[in-house]
Structure 1
Amino acid sequence: MTSHRRSYTALQLSSEAQQILELARQFAEERLRPTAEARDANEDVFDGEIHRELGELGFLAMRVPERYEGLGLDLATYLYVLEELAWGDPGVAVSVSVHNSLPVSILLRHGNEAQRTRWLPRMASGEVLGAFSLSEAGAGTDAAALRTQATRTDGGWVINGEKMWVTNGASAGVVLMFARTDAPEDRRGTRGIGAFLLPAGVEGLSVGRKERKMGQRGSETVTLALKDVFLEDELLIGDPNRGFAYALEGLEGGRLGIAAQALGIASAAVDAAFEYAQTREQFGRPIRKFQGMEFKLGDMVTRLEAARGLVERAAAAHTVGDPRARRLSSVAKLFSSETAMRNARDAVQVFGGYGYSREYPVERLFRDAKVTEIYEGANEMHRSLIARQLYREGGYA
């Protein structure tokens, strides 16, 4: 059966990029896909062995520059790898995406050399898994409404508060965490938030419950509670009042990671649907030969290829500094996530009653796909961002 995963033959890739893509495809086929159901069923257990292998194979080093012992892959190749990993298990892919797209990118852009030297080589090797913590109970889409407070003291900051929806949070060696640095009596909105490196095991930090989720159960999502946590000045990244701006910059790249993850889900749904439509017979012939089924399968592939084109265009815009890059990140994330959801839904329909059973993978893909429309900015928000960015750009071009 021909797979509908991405073909790399027409792309001009370096030999190193080609090798890591082949490695990612092999790892997804041999390690992730066969064990995805087990991770879904055992959501309370973090698969440390898989993440150890990810570090050994270099998948946690993809966006770390070579001078910090990383691979320094270009953005497009990195996204291709994420799509491959997500084809195998979207929950594992999102852990890799968060690690590479958010703490690594913000450290590189706004950390000082001492911080980069201390953390990036360990993150590249997999010794330290990275996490990102912006959201709180009352601060989701309205992330600037966060309430966790960082208070200046001699030699550092004392932090109190609770963070939510922290991917990799319990197993991370360091969390890139955001807290208010302005005073409660003098709030300054987005200009009163700082970015901090929160090492694992620091006194006063406790890991709360692990969220019991609809899908992507192989990823670890927890709450973090901070009670009088002291962080030295060397753990503050950049300007203490510019953290929110740093978060928005990081999230632009993070959205492309989620778009790539959605492509992997959409591709897996297409493969499952095509294979089943070939082998399942009704009225004496394979169901793929019915015109209604042909229309459905054709639409699934068309959406997948269109989404891939948008992700590649957005990646190219970021690479060359195109001013439309921010808008294109939202466009790619919006369209790819909705493609994942529609393809997963259609795959369930192709399987009919079997698609509703956990015996077949499309039931899990349907659950895994849904959150791509929610995290890294709910799609309703992205629709507004796209329109507003068009006005800022002075019109579509």
Structure 2
Amino acid sequence: MFDLYQLSEDHIAVREAVRELCDAKVAPNAAAADENGEFPQASYDALRSSDFHAPHIPAEFGGAGADALATAIVIEEVARACASSSLIPAVNKLGTMPLLLSGDQALKERYLTPVARGEAMFSYCLSEPEAGSDAGSMTTRADRDGDHWILNGVKRWITNAGVSEYYTVFAVTTPGIGPKGISAFVIEKSDPGVSFGAPERKLGIKGSPTREVYFDNVRVPLDRIIGEPGTGFATAMKTLDHTRVTIAAQAVGIAAGALDAALAYAQERRQFGKPIADFQGMQFLLADMGMKLTAARELTYAAAARSERGDADLTYFGAAAKCFASDAAMEITTDAVQVLGGYGYTKDFPAERMMRDAKITQIYEGTNQVQRIVMARQLLKGVI
């Protein structure tokens, strides 16, 4: 059964509010964040002041209580202005989703409340140097020691590492039984034994720090485990079902920003005595960009609606939305550079930044090759 989403007046109002804020207080920081490779603190402050930094957190914990579709719209609109800044609401959702899915009430109140207030951010630590797509082969360990767990290991490719105060960390608690021996924990940046590697030198999203996180005999109280021991990997996979929708939204936003830039330039740039937008070849290119963007947005919103309802086909739709939208974003941003010609290849215009930013959406939260495996397995199960 294919239930359709419907944008409510509230969803439309959220889009208008986020766009106005981002045009005024986020977009002006985007080029500098990219050039300097610095976390856009001013953008975070702007998002925090309007409750757009973690809109998904329920009202009972002090959050805005936005549904999955509204949250996707927020991320889309922030990404339209600055992809690095869009990782603030996106990664706050990624880091906290395991608590929302599997955490007990006390753990939620303790950690979701400060995130909702904008006093802390939350990152997600799953990947390791030798465990990327094969996350189940992780080697980070958590050993029971009386009323504590002792964590040792390394996590790699951790978004906003060093800036976030809190981290959802997955570690092996029962060796030798594969994913069923993995558990999830909340780790605080201030915990003794937690340290960070140097920021990665990346192609794009340079304003969002990506670093390794090291755990050296980190003592974690028993009440900081998320769910029961051995349920961590299942929680991680359920989390990704929901948060792949946010990466799809980010990709849609990046693509929308690139199309905006291409449309504006095509109407201003004159060749052979008229705007290049008047040429049929250019119109075909712009039409294809718009068509791909519209399809990606519609699929993303349909997946967001399923995320909100917790539908049985969410795994398929989350993977499909992330895969299709990120592929579309890569194509649209590349075409935007082409529309701008030589100017598109320079940092004087945003298209080249958007093209670089778009690439990561095909890689993180599961490569698009992995997404196709996920989709195929769901099809073979008869879920769709």
TM-score (norm 1): 0.93
Which one-letter code corresponds to 1:293 in the other structure?
A: M
Alignment correspondent of 1:11 = 7
Aligned residue among 21, 25, 40 for 2:19: 25
Q: What is the match of residue 171 of structure 1?
A: 163
Matched residue type, 1:46: F
1:79 has 2:72 as partner: yes
Instruction: Specify the SS of the correspondent of 1:211.
Output: coil
**Partner amino acid, structure 1, of 2:33:** R
5+ unaligned residues in a row in structure 1: which ranges? 1-9
Q: CA deviation at 1:18?
A: 4.5
Amino acid at match of 2:284: F
Partner of 1:201: 190
* 1:40 partner amino acid: D
Q: Which consecutive unaligned segments of at least 5 residues does structure 2 have?
A: 1-5
CA contact (8 A) 1:173 1:200 kept: yes
Alignment partner for residue 50 of structure 2, among 53, 57, 76? 57
Deviations 1:27-70 (A, max 9, x none): 21011111100000111x32333223322221134111111111
The aligned residue for residue 34 of structure 2 is 40
1:273-302 Cα deviation digits (max 9, x unpaired): 111111111111111111111110000000
Task: Name the stretch that deviates more: 317-326 or 230-239.
Answer: 317-326
Q: Residues of 1 paired with 2:279 and 2:47: CA distance?
A: 42
Q: Share of identical aligned residues, percent?
A: 39
Letter in 1 for 2:27: R
Distance 1:260 1:228, change over 3 A: same
> Can you list the C-alpha shifts for 1:229-271, whole angstroms capped at 9, x where unaligned?
1101011111111101101111111100000000011111111
Contact between 1:178 and 1:195, CA under 8 Å: does it hold in 2?
A: yes
Q: Is the 8 A contact 1:54 1:126 kept in 2?
A: no
RMSD, aligned α-carbons: 1.3
| Matched-pair contact (CA < 8 Å) for 1:95–1:167 | no
1:106 corresponds to which residue? 98
8 Å CA contact 1:86–1:264 kept in 2: the answer is yes
Equivalent residue for 2:366, pick from 364, 374, 377: 377
Code of the residue aligned with 1:292 in structure 2: it is G
Q: Distance in 2 between matches of 1:197 and 1:369?
A: 30
Matched with 2:277 is: 288
Q: CA offset at residue 19 of structure 1?
A: 4.3
Question: In structure 1, how many angstroms separate the alpha carbons of the residues matched to 2:308 and 2:192?
Answer: 40
Tell me whether 1:361 sits opposite 2:350 in the alignment: yes
In structure 1, distance between residues paired with 2:106 and 2:306: 30
Three-state SS of the structure 1 residue aligned to 2:198 is: strand
1:250 aligns with 239
| Contact 2:25-2:46 at 8 Å conserved across structures | no
Contact 1:60–1:125 (8 Å) recurs in 2? no
- 1:262 aligns with 251
Counterpart check, 1:159 vs 2:148: no
> Could you tell me the TM-score, scaled by structure 2's length?
0.96
Hey, what's the Cα distance between the residues in 2 that align with 1:315 and 1:50? 25
CA contact (8 A) 1:63 1:104 kept: no
Deviation at 1:216, TM superposition (A): 0.6
Q: Does 1:333 align with 2:326?
A: no
Looking at structure 2, the residues matched to 145 and 228 of structure 1 have their Cα atoms a distance apart, in angstroms, of 20
Relative to structure 1, is the Cα distance of residues 241 and 367 closer, same or farther in structure 2, using a 3 angstrom cutoff?
A: same
1:356–1:61 distance in 2 versus 1, CA, 3 Å: closer
Q: How many residues are matched?
A: 379
Cα distance, 1:22 vs structure 2: 2.5
Distance across 2 between alignment mates of 1:391 and 1:230? 43
Measured in 2, the distance between the counterparts of 1:355 and 1:333 equals: 26
8 Å Cα contact 1:61-1:72 kept in structure 2: no
Aligned to 1:5: none
The runs of at least 4 aligned residues of structure 1 exceeding 4 Å deviation read: none
Of 95, 105, 125, the residue aligned with 2:117 is 125
Which residue does 1:66 correspond to in 2? 59
Deviation at 1:142, TM superposition (A): 0.8
Q: Which amino acid aligns with 1:319?
A: E
Structure 2 distance, partners of 1:48, 1:279, is 33
